[in-house]
Structure 1
Amino acid sequence: MSLCRSNNLLDLLIAMEYRLLCTGPVACIARPRERSFVVAELPELTIEEDGRYCVYVLAKRGLPSLDAARLLARMLGANPRSVNIAGLKDTGATTVQYACLPCPREPRELVTVPGRLWARLVGRTNRCPRRGVLKGNQFTIVLEPVSATPQEVMEAARGLARAKLPAYYGYQRFGTRRPNTHLQGLALLRGDLALYARELLGNPYPDEGPETARCRATLWRGRGCSESRLYEARVARDAASPGDLARLLPRGVLELQLAALQAYVFNRYLSLRIAHGYSLEERLPGERQVEGRPYAPVPGIGYRLGTGGKAAELLEEALEPLGISLETLAEPPPGLPRLRPYWRPVYTVPEGLRARILPDGRVALSFTLEKGMYATLVLRELAEPPECV
């Protein structure tokens, strides 16, 4: 099946340049979004009676995953850094995921913060769930028809069942409200302090709410602001040269920004691959074949690529407009974390996709995606941001 060029500016910003359906958006995510977008993690857990770690199933609403983990730690009297979560989930959604931490002497069975967080102890383990043990995510999303009837929206959704969708990294990978984390990673790699400061401290998202604008203006030091963003004040105050960034920024933030750059490079690679006329089912020289699917290389930071052929050529083509090369990725500035290269499928297939019309005329959509894939890959075929107004 041929793919269509996207004309959505947000798609183009993160190099998601092609889509499956050419008809354009027929719906939007119903408001309020946090009640119409539900995602649940599907982990592979081994529960052990005498395990040294406690596993909580954690439901959150309107909270970044890292803030939810810190809030859970505070409620349990634990070190916030000791809480392990297997994945970062959408802030503007209701999400169910797993949190793991060393068991306190008397673990609490239930932790609640009304309207924001609910966590229940489900057992003990000797190995905290990490990304590698996740099977995927189950999504349940309510759509509001916009330019089509409910029946047409349902039929369009059902047409995506078992479809081969380009396995792009979705918007959330680059920042839910300000999708520019990859540009921060690019600035780190190029040693460009001015670009980094502009992307980190400026460029508010067009529909930022007043609370977010207030927190940004105070560099997140005001009441009710995200504690996970306090490093911005250190950068604004103390960064005099590019070399200061690795010292001032938490390692986790550096890794997040560089990993977003890796994701952006993959998106550019995939879009170029499609633009050159290669089928999603065709393995190119330099790619791998895993269980019948082509896997493309995602270059590391601080590592040599380790592949060649057409795959290496496409990667160099993807990197050239960014002012970097595979050599730049292999030899980053001192102090930056090293991130390993990896392989990612060229396409993914939604499993168990179902759509039904609700009594109020909206359409409920449910499906499962393998780990590492985003609901955006399905939703962008039917609905474009922002949500209904």
Structure 2
Amino acid sequence: MPMSGPDIPISPADLGFLPPVLRGAIKTLASDFHVTEIPAYEASGNGQYLYFKIRRSNLNTKEVLQILARLFSLPEGEVGYAGLKDRNAVCTQLFSVPIFRIPGISPDSSSAAVIEKEIHNQWKNLDGELELLEILRHENSLRRGHLAGNRFSILVRDLGPAADSAGNLDSKAGSIQELLQSAASHWMEKGMINLYGPQRFGKEGSTLQQGLSFMDGKKARKWLLDLGVSAVQSYAFNYYLRLRNEQGKLFDLLDGDLAVKSESGGIFKVPVADQESSRMSSGEISYTGPMFGKKMRSPEGPSLQLEMDTLSYLGKTEEDFKKMKVPGARRAGIIPLHDLELEWETDESVWMKFSLPAGSYATVAISHLIQLEENSERSL
């Protein structure tokens, strides 16, 4: 049973892979961490909602939502967004508001130029808190989940040999740049292990422990209960990947897997693993792991057995998750890192640029390449 932070697998090293030979730090400054949303769809240019593409730092999504609600005298519930973002970063994100609720604008008679002028006039009241990059228009409000993924640009500072590997690096090992490029090439070929990061579980696993107690009958407010049970779901997924790695199938399909298409997100059954192995190797598809809940589809054969073993370790059943009224889902086990780029700023600092699907953690991606230092453990 999970008892504390160290017991939670959150990096490739926790699954048994050799730890990276380099260490480094991220989030030394907010400007070191840039994230830009990749929308699930493009705004059509027509409709009853305005989409604002906003860049900001030192404000989280909830705080931006509150600023926009005050600016346009709207209830907070009428400001839409697709995903939550951290305050300790430079974030570019879309927010939506109903055009017919904005003072001074008539959605039927106001031209695009008039609307844009009025918005910019009202935006001046924010005194530079939010940078408005673009105004778009669409038929519906943004909702949580209307997000394909995120594009990250992260500066890693103080690169050097990791403490536990410095003695193992000889003069033939290569420069820091060569070592990092070699690691990047390896994981670009293999794909990223789609683990949940430490933020999901709370300090020393506190959120996970709360979730387990809620599933045992302890009462809590709904938002806290949902947060805790989500941590249990996430732990189950990470533990499932650990079991899969122990069987030598972390990067391979099993008969009976439920696989997901990397581009479309479509899920399908794999009766015979060998028939889809080339697509798995190329990153076109991945097997999926369990996010237990009432709507989760189950695989068959050895993949199903691993899920049953995961539940047994937790001391839970599928019915226990269904009783908590969580929807459940399938989550890709391996995701492509084909677009990973390294741009060196100095000999000891590098920008890592890559895209991840919604719900995947940038710090987990980086942990494949370097050991992150203490101040780097907040996950995005």
TM-score, length basis structure 2: 0.72
Residues 262/290 of structure 1: CA separation in 2 closer, same or farther (3 Å cut):
same
| 2:11 is equivalent to residue 46 of structure 1 | no
Query: Is the CA contact 2:240–2:289 (under 8 Å) kept in the aligned structure 1?
Result: no
| 2:372 is equivalent to residue 384 of structure 1 | yes
SS in 2 for 1:123: strand
2:51 corresponds in structure 1 to 55
Residues 271/67 of structure 1: CA separation in 2 closer, same or farther (3 Å cut):
farther
SS in 2 for 1:281: coil
Displacement of 1:377: 2.6
SS in 1 for 2:188: coil
- Picking from 137, 140, 157, the partner of 1:127 is 140
Mapped partners of 2:375, 2:31: distance in 1: 12
Displacement of 1:312: 2.9
Amino acid at match of 2:20: T
Displacement of 1:13: 2.9
Mapped partners of 2:307, 2:8: distance in 1: 18
SS in 1 for 2:309: helix
Residue by residue, what CA displacement relative to the aligned partner does 1:242-289 show, whole Å, maximum 9, x if unpaired? 2xx2xx444xx5434333322221111111111232242223434336
SS in 1 for 2:374: coil
SS in 1 for 2:135: strand
2:212 corresponds in structure 1 to 186
Mapped partners of 2:347, 2:21: distance in 1: 23
Residues 87/182 of structure 1: CA separation in 2 closer, same or farther (3 Å cut):
farther
Residue by residue, what CA displacement relative to the aligned partner does 1:137-166 show, whole Å, maximum 9, x if unpaired? 111111113424652464255434343221
Mapped partners of 2:144, 2:190: distance in 1: 25
| 2:94 is equivalent to residue 105 of structure 1 | no
Query: Is the CA contact 1:295–1:343 (under 8 Å) kept in the aligned structure 2?
Result: no
Query: Is the CA contact 1:62–1:91 (under 8 Å) kept in the aligned structure 2?
Result: yes
- Picking from 61, 67, 77, the partner of 1:65 is 61
Residues 50/357 of structure 1: CA separation in 2 closer, same or farther (3 Å cut):
closer
Residue by residue, what CA displacement relative to the aligned partner does 1:68-106 show, whole Å, maximum 9, x if unpaired? 322332233211122222112233222111112222333
1:118 corresponds in structure 2 to 131
1:270 corresponds in structure 2 to 241
Paired residues in the alignment total: 318
Unaligned runs of 5+ in 2: 104-117, 162-174, 263-278, 280-284
Mapped partners of 1:114, 1:154: distance in 2: 42
Residue by residue, what CA displacement relative to the aligned partner does 1:3-54 show, whole Å, maximum 9, x if unpaired? xxxxxx856435543275533442221522x111111111144334441112
SS in 2 for 1:96: strand
2:252 corresponds in structure 1 to 281
Percent sequence identity over matched residues?
24
Higher mean alpha-carbon deviation, 39-48 vs 127-136, is at 127-136
Amino acid at match of 2:333: V
SS in 2 for 1:161: helix
1:163 corresponds in structure 2 to 190
Displacement of 1:59: 2.4
Mapped partners of 2:358, 2:16: distance in 1: 20
SS in 2 for 1:355: strand
TM-score, length basis structure 1: 0.70
1:322 corresponds in structure 2 to 314
Greater gyration radius: 2
- Picking from 23, 31, 34, the partner of 1:35 is 31
Amino acid at match of 1:366: K
Query: Is the CA contact 2:291–2:331 (under 8 Å) kept in the aligned structure 1?
Result: no
After superposition, the CA RMSD in angstroms is 3.1
Query: Is the CA contact 2:56–2:92 (under 8 Å) kept in the aligned structure 1?
Result: yes
Higher mean alpha-carbon deviation, 19-28 vs 351-360, is at 19-28
Query: Is the CA contact 1:42–1:136 (under 8 Å) kept in the aligned structure 2?
Result: yes
Mapped partners of 1:49, 1:279: distance in 2: 43
